[in-house]
Structure 1
Amino acid sequence: MQYTIEIDQELCTGCQRCTNVCPVGAIGGPEGMPVDINYDKCCFCGQCVQICSAYQEYKSETTKPREIKMQERGLLDNVKEPLFAAHNMGHVQQVWQALNDPDVVTMVQCAPAVRVGLAEDFGMESGELVAGKMITALRKLGFDKVYDTNFTADLTIMEEGSELIKRIQENGVLPMFTSCCPAWVKYVEQEHYDLQANLSSCKSPQQMAGALFKTYGAQVDKIDPKKIVSVSVMPCTAKKFEAARPEMKASGFQDVDLVLTTRELANLIKYAGIDFKHLEAGKPDSVLGNYTGAGHIFGVTGGVMEAALRTGYELITGKPIDDVNILEVRHSQGVKRATIQVGDLTIKTVVVAGLANVEPVLEQIKNGTADFQFVEVMACPQGCISGGGQPKVLLETERTDVYAKRMDSMYKHDEELPLRKSHENPEVAKLYKDFLGKPLGHKSHELLHTHYVRRG
C-alpha cells in the first residue's frame, strides 16, 4: 500500500532529524537505524520531507536502481536532484498523461504559497513572487483552464466568516476552528474527535475549487464534467490525502483528481523544456480566477484569521474597517492570542502555528477555561509557505531567512492588490448571484461544506 508520505528504508540513516521535527510523534526507531512512520498518528504534513538530508546520489548503485525508485515515487525521469529517504508520493506522471490526452479537459488551480516558493527551484531569489510566470507556464504545459485557489480562498471567507457569525449569534459550538489545513483536520479526527464539532464545516479552498470546476465551471465553459480532470498545485503534501477523501464528491465527481506539490510543478515545467525565468506574465481565466489580498494571505500563518476578520467586521457592522492590516494576528510564533473589537462585539482569537503547539489550546477548551471564539491552526511552522511540498531548504542556517522572504512577499502582494477584502471580489459576488445563491445557502451547503470522520 502506498501512503502520502513514506520513508525509504534503504536510504534512511536513522539520523532522527525527522523524528525530532514530527509534530505528532508519528516517526520513531532506534538511532542509527531506519525509522518507521505510524500512520495512525501521521497527519501527512511533510515536515519530515522538508528536513530529510539522507539521500541517494545520482549514480549510486548501492541500492535499488534510481530509475525504479523514481517510477515508484511517481516522478518523471528528468529529475536530477538526489532522492531523499523521506518523500511524498507524486502525481506528476498522471498529470503529464492527462495533459497529453485529447479526450479530457484539464483545469488547474494554484495555492497562494506556491507563487512565493516556485522561483527557488529555478535558481531565482527566495520568496520572489512569480504568479504571472507560473500562469504562463501552466498554459504552455497545455492546461485548458487556468484558475486560482486564491479565488476560492475568498469564497471560503464568505462561507467560514458567515458560519462564525451564525455560531456567535445563535449560541452555536464555539470556539470555531478553521478547516483549511488538512493535516490539522486529520489530527482532530485522530486525536480529538470529541472536538470535531468545533471544526468549521467549510471545505478547504482546494476542495471548493474542485467542486466548482465540475459544476459552475463546467456549466459556464459548456463542458461535460465527466471529461474534466481537476488538478491542484499545492505547497502541502497533506492536500494529496485530502483530495482522496471519499466525502469530497458532492458534485457527483471527485472534487480534485490530482495534486502536485510546488516541487512537482517545477519538475513538470523542466520536463516540458519551458524556460521559466524568461516567461512573460500571464493572467488566470476569469469566472474562477480573480482574487483579493485577503485570499492571497491564506498562505501565511494568521492569514486565514486576518482575512476572516476583514470581512467579518464589515458584515457585522455594515461599516468599512478602519485598517485592513490586522497586525495583532500576524507573525505567530507558536501561539498568538488577540482581542478584536468588531462594533459592539468583542472577538477573542487564537492563531496556532505548528501542530506541536496546539495541545494547550485544546486542553483549555476541554476543561472549560477557553474564553476565545475563533481559532486558526496551521500544521506547518510558518503556515503554507513552509509546507512539506515547497522547495526544500536543506541548511538550517538558511531556513529562517527563506521563510521570512516568502512571508514578506505574501504581505507585499496583498498590499499591492486593488481589492483586499474577500467580500469585495466581483467574481465571488457573481458566483453567488448566478449559481450559489447566498453564503450558507442550500447550494453552498451541498457543494462547499463537508463532514468529518473518526480515525485512529
Structure 2
Amino acid sequence: MVNLTIDGRKISVEENTTIMEAARQNGIPIPSLCYLKGINEIAACRVCVVELEGKNRLITSCNNVAEEGMVIYTNSPKVRKDRHINVELLLSQHDCQCVTCARSGNCSLQSIANDLNIIDIPFEKQVEHKPWNKNFPLIRDSAKCIKCMRCVAICDKVQGLSVWDAEGTGSRSNVNVSKRMTIENAPCALCGQCITHCPVGALRERDDTEKVWDAIEDGTKTVVVQVAPAVRTAWGEQLGMKAEEATIGKILDAMKRMGADYVFDTVFSADLTIMEEANEFVHRFTSGELKGNPMFTSCCPGWIRFIKSQFPHRVKYLSTAKSPQQMFGAVMKTYFAEKIGKKPEDIFTVSVMPCVAKKAEREMELFYEEYAGHDIDAVITTRELVKMMRAAHISPETLEDRESDSPMHAGTGAGVIFGATGGVMEAALRTAYAIITGENPEADAFKAVRSSGFNANDGVQEAELEINGIKVRTAVVSGLGNTRRLLEKLDRGEVQYDFVEVMACPGGCVGGGGQPIHDGEELAFERGKQLYRLDRDYEIRFSHENQDVLQLYEEYMEKPNSHKAHMLLHTQHE
C-alpha cells in the first residue's frame, strides 16, 4: 500500500494506482476528458492536472502513479486557473453549437465548462470543418472533435481495426480516417464503440427518426415496429427509470402512441433465427460439411462486416441465416402482409436496435416472388427511440405494459438472451439438443457458454459439451480485437471449435454502439444480467416451443431450412 495526502485527506491505495484513481476511490473527483482506464491514458486534454507539493509544474493525474508521501492538491488556485485555460483552449477549437448537438445534456466538455463557470472564450476561434458523407451510418463532425484520441484508442486497442488515426502536429493536429482512406473504404465494422466512448458529439449515428415520422404521417403506409431484446435493458437509463420499470411493454406502448400501426418484440424473430440456425448447424456439423472448421453465427452485422474485410477465407463457414432484424422484415413483407391484406410495398418496417451496424444491414435487399425491396425500411437506435419519445412529449410514468400484436406475439427466454454475449449460442444449443435427442435439456444446461466479464479469458468463453454422445466444442467471443486473436489462433491450428458465436461489441448487443452513453462507465455485463433474469422468468425457454413460430412454419414456411425458408430467411454471404 502507498500512503499519500490528497486535499488534506490522508489516504492509502494499492501500489501502481494513478493519482486520479486514488482520488476517485476516496470520493475526490478529478475532471477528465481524454481518460479511459487502461485504454487511453495519454493526458492529451490536461484537464486532470493537479498540484504536487514541492514541484513547480502541475502534473497530470491520469498517468502519474501515486507515490509514498505525496501531498496533492486537486483544486488549488493554480490548478483552477490552469484547468480553466485548458478548457477555454479546447472550446476555441470547438464549434460550441450545443443546442443542435446530439450529445447536448450528456457531454463531458459541456459539463466541465459549466462546472468551471466558463461563459466567455478569450481566444480566437479556429474551428475545423471537414466534409463527411451524411448518408453513411456513422457521422463524424470535425468541428466538435477535441483531439482526445479516445476513438483512436478504442478502435485500435479494443476493436483492433485502427479505423481512426491522428494527423498533423501541435495545435494543427486532428483525427481522421487512417491511411488517408474515406470512411466508406475503411475497414469500419460500424460497431459504434467510437461513438459511445467519444466524450463530446464529434461522433454519432446517422439520425433516421425523421424517416420514421414521415412514414407514420403517410396515410398509405402501414408502419410495423420491432424492438430488439437488448433495448429493454437500457432505454430507461436516459429517462431515470429503474430497470424493472423499463419494460418492453412500455416501449411498445410508446411506439403505438407515436402512431405505429403494429408493434412487435424481436424476441419472436430471435426464436425464428434459432430454428433456422440450430437446424443448419446440426446438418452442417453431422454431415461433415464443415470439415473440422467451426460454423459461425451470423446475427451481428458488425461481425459480418469484420469477417468479410479481415478474414474473407472464413466467410463460407458463416451461418447463412439472416439476423433476427432481417428475418422479421422478410416475414412482415410476405406472411404478415398477406395476413392483413396489404401490399409489401405499403408496409414500412422499423427496427429499434442497440446497434449502428444495423443501419447498414438494412440495405440488404429482399427478393421473393414478385416483390423486391428491403426487409427493413428504417433503423433507429435506443438513443433515437428516447429522442422520439421526448419529441412526442411522452411521459414515462404514463406508459403502460402493452402486449405485442399478433400473430407474431409469442417469445421465449431463449430469444430474449440474444442481446447478451453467449445468448445466441446458448439458445441454439438448447434447440440443437432437442433436434438431436428428441427431448429438451435442462433450460440452464448450457450456461457454461455465458461470458463472465470483459477481461476474462481475453473475452473468449470456451466450453466442450456433450449431446447424445456427440462432443461439441464451442467458443463465444465479444469485441473485435478478441475476435481477431481467436481467428488467428484458428488459422494457426492452435484451437479447434465446432460452433462459434461472435458479437462485435464487448458484452454483446447490450453494449452496442446505439445504447445510452454513460461516459467512463461500462454497463454491458450488468445489462446482460437483466436478460438472463428475464429468461429465467419466462414460462417457455426453448425457441422450438414458440407456438407462433411453429404456426408460421405450418401456415407458410413448411419447416426449418425448407426451400421457402431459405428464400426468405437466409442469404448468400459475399
Fold agreement, TM-score > 0.5: yes
CA distance in 2, matches of 1:127, 1:306: 24
Contact map agreement 2:443 2:541 (CA 8 A) in 1: no
Q: Which has the larger radius of gyration?
A: 2
Q: 1:14 to 1:127 in 2, by over 3 A?
A: farther
User: Which residue among 348, 351, 358 is the counterpart of 1:229?
Assistant: 348
* Structure 2 alignment gaps of length 5 or more: 1-132
Could you tell me which of 343, 349, 364 is aligned with 2:474? 349
> Aligned letter for 2:284?
R
String of CA shifts for 1:22-49, please: whole Å, max 9, x gaps.
Answer: 1111111148733123532111000011
Q: Residue 69 of structure 1 corresponds to which residue in structure 2?
A: none
**SS in structure 2 at match of 1:409:** helix
Q: Which moved more, 1:1-10 or 1:188-197?
A: 1-10
**Structure 1's 323 and 296: CA in aligned 2 closer, same or farther, altered over 3 A?**
closer
Q: What's the CA shift for 1:271?
A: 0.6
Query: What's the counterpart of residue 166 of structure 2?
Result: 29
C-alpha distance in structure 2 between counterparts of 1:266 and 1:448, whole Å? 30
Instruction: Kindly report the root-mean-square deviation, in angstroms, between the aligned alpha carbons of the 2 structures.
Output: 1.5
Contact 2:212–2:350 (Cα < 8 Å) also in 1: yes
| Correspondent of 1:116 among 216, 225, 233 | 233
TM-score of the superposed pair, with normalisation by structure 1? 0.89
User: Are 2:264 and 2:405, in contact at CA under 8 Å, matched by a contact in 1?
Assistant: yes
1:98 matched to 2:215? The reply is yes
Map of 1:433 onto structure 2: 554
1:385 maps to 2:499: no
- 1:449 and 1:443 mapped to 2: Cα distance? 10
Deviates most, 334-343 or 402-411? 402-411
Instruction: Tell me if 1:415 matches 2:502.
Output: no
**In 1, Cα distance between the equivalents of 2:465 and 2:495?**
16
The reply to whether residue 318 of structure 1 matches residue 438 of structure 2 is yes
The superposition leaves residues 102-139 of structure 1 with CA deviations (integer Å, 9 ceiling, x where unpaired) of 11110110100011111012112358542111111111
Q: How does 1:303-382 map to 2 (within 5 A)?
A: 303-332=423-452, 333=454, 334-382=459-507
Which residue pairs with 2:64 in the alignment?
A: none
Partner of 1:11: 144
- Alignment match, 2:74: none
Question: C-alpha offsets along residues 130-182 of structure 1, whole Å, 9 cap, x if unaligned?
Answer: 21111111111111111221101000000000110011111112300000000
Structure 1 residue matching 2:207: 3-state secondary structure: coil
Distance apart, 1:404 and its partner CA: 3.7
Q: 1:127 to 1:387 in 2, by over 3 A?
A: farther
Equivalent residue of 1:28, what SS? strand
Q: What does 1:126-141 align with in structure 2 at a 5 Å threshold?
A: 129-141=246-258
Q: Does 1:207 align with 2:326?
A: yes
Task: Say if 1:127 and 1:405, in contact at 8 Å, map to a contact too.
Answer: no
Aligned match of 2:193: 47
Report the counterpart of residue 176 of structure 1 in structure 2: 295
Pair 1:87-2:204 in alignment: yes
* Counterpart secondary structure, 2:508: strand
Aligned residue type for 2:363: A
Residues in 2 aligned to 1:99 and 1:369: alpha-carbon distance in whole angstroms:
53
Q: Is the 8 A contact 2:510 2:525 kept in 1?
A: no
Task: From the superposition, tell whether residues 205 and 323 of structure 1 become closer, same or farther in structure 2 (CA, over 3 Å).
Answer: closer
Which stretch shows the higher mean deviation, 382-391 or 316-325?
Answer: 316-325
Answer with 29-38 or 208-217: which moved more: 29-38
Distance in 2 between residues matched to 1:42 and 1:192, nearest whole Å? 14
The separation in 1 between residues aligned to 2:500 and 2:366, in whole angstroms, is 24
**Greater relative contact order (Cα 8 A, min sep 6): structure 1 or 2?**
1
* Distance verdict in 2 for CA 1:127–1:262, change over 3 Å: farther
Question: Matched residues in 2 for 1:123 and 1:158: separation?
Answer: 37
Q: What does the per-residue CA deviation read over 1:277-309, in whole Å, with 9 as the maximum and x for residues that have no partner?
A: 331110001222311000000000000000001
**Which amino acid in the other structure matches residue 376 of structure 1?**
E
Give 1:361 deviation, angstroms.
2.0
Q: How far apart, CA to CA, are the structure 2 residues paired with 1:308 and 1:132?
A: 25
Note the C-alpha offset of 1:3. 1.3
> Which residue identity lines up with residue 226 of structure 1 in the other structure?
E
Q: Secondary structure at the match of 1:382?
A: coil
Q: For residue 163 of structure 2, what is the amino acid of its counterpart?
A: A
- What's the counterpart of residue 357 of structure 2? 238
Letter in 2 for 1:349: T
Name the CA shift for 1:249/1:51 in 2 (closer, same or farther; >3 Å). farther
1:249 Cα shift? 4.3
Q: Which residue of 2 aligns with 1:285?
A: 405
Compared CA separation, residues 241 and 339, structure 1 to 2 (3 A): same
1:284, 1:181 → 2: CA distance? Answer: 24
Q: Is the 8 A contact 2:355 2:515 kept in 1?
A: yes
Q: What secondary structure is seen at the aligned counterpart in 2 of 1:106?
A: strand
Q: How far does residue 248 in structure 1 lie from its aligned partner after superposition?
A: 4.2
Give the total of aligned pairs. Answer: 419
Contact 1:118–1:130, Cα closer than 8 Å, also in 2: no
Letter in 1 for 2:147: G
Judge which range, 286-295 or 438-447, deviates more.
Answer: 286-295
Post-superposition CA distance 1:358-402 (Å, at most 9, x none)? 1232123323444210000000001000100011111x2x32xx3
Q: CA deviation at 1:344?
A: 1.2
User: Paired residue for 1:70?
Assistant: none
Determine if contact 2:351/2:379 at 8 Å carries over to the other structure: yes
Conservation of the 8 A alpha-carbon contact between 2:443 and 2:542: no
Find the residue that maps to 1:385 and give its secondary structure: helix
Structure 1 SS opposite 2:374 = coil
Determine helix, strand or coil for the equivalent of 1:252. strand
Q: 1:407-435, CA deviations, whole angstroms, 9 ceiling, x for partnerless residues? A: 22111111111000000000010000000
> Does structure 1 retain, via aligned residues, the 8 Å contact 2:417–2:423?
yes
| Cα deviation digits, residues 65-87 of structure 1 (max 9, x gap) | xxxxxxxxxxxxxxxxxxx1011
2: CA distance, partners of 1:315 / 1:342: 10
Moved more, 369-378 or 346-355: 369-378
- Paired residue for 2:307? 188
The normalised TM-score by structure 2 is 0.71
Which amino acid in 2 is paired with 1:29?
Answer: A
Is the 8 Å Cα contact of residues 276 and 561 (structure 2) preserved in structure 1?
yes
Distance in 1 (CA, whole Å) between partners of 2:512 and 2:367 is 25
Equivalent residue, structure 2, for 1:78: none
Identity %: 41
Contact 1:348 1:371 in 2 (8 A): yes
Distance 1:264 1:421 in 2: 31
Matches of 2:225 and 2:321, distance apart in 1: 21
Maintained 8 Å contact 1:4/1:88: yes
Letter of the 2:273 partner, please give it: T
